[in-house]
Amino acid sequence: MRRATKEDYVLSHPADAANHVAASGARVKATPMPATSETLLDRIIASLEDDKAEDIVPIPLKGKSSMADHMVVCSGRSSRQVAAISENLTDRLKQDLGILCKTEGKDQGDWVLIDAGDVIVHVFRPEVRDFYQLEKMWMTPGAPSPHTA
């Protein structure tokens, strides 16, 4: 049976990694603690609000889908803003929470899909969002539509 080492402890207790000094004397960088899906959702909405995303609609997916716990749908006013919102969001999640997101559609800027693990984000230009009406597929029946005038 193998004996546990100091490295095993550090790898299994990331909160303590910041205090661990490697044998070479170099400090080991701590990995961010994993965010809960609610914390991640809050951080995503804050980032979208900071970048002036419009009509931000969070949709709970727990019990509806196994792909994620939440979905967020929002709009940017132009292709350039859609691309900027998505790029800023992925950068913030990487820096703040250590989450590497997968993105699709950023080059076109009409509809960007961001997979942040427990939260899926869709950033649309308004015309594209109106055409696909993605949130209508996932909203609870009987719930008011977010786009009613």
Task: Record the pTM.
Answer: 0.72
CATH architecture of 37-138: 2-Layer Sandwich (3.30)
Mean pLDDT of 107-131: 93
List all residues 6 or more positions away from 103 whose beta carbon is below 8 Å from its beta carbon. 86, 90, 112, 113, 114, 115
| Selection from 5-9, 12-16, 37-41, 139-143 with the highest mean pLDDT | 37-41
What is d(CA 16, CA 2) in angstroms, rounded to the nearest whole number? 22
Tell me the one-letter amino acid at 25.
G
pLDDT, position 65: 78
Domain ranges of the chain: 1-31, 37-138
Q: How far is the first Cα of the chain from the last one, in angstroms, to the nearest whole number? A: 68
For 20-32, the pLDDT digits (tens) are 444 555 554 444 5
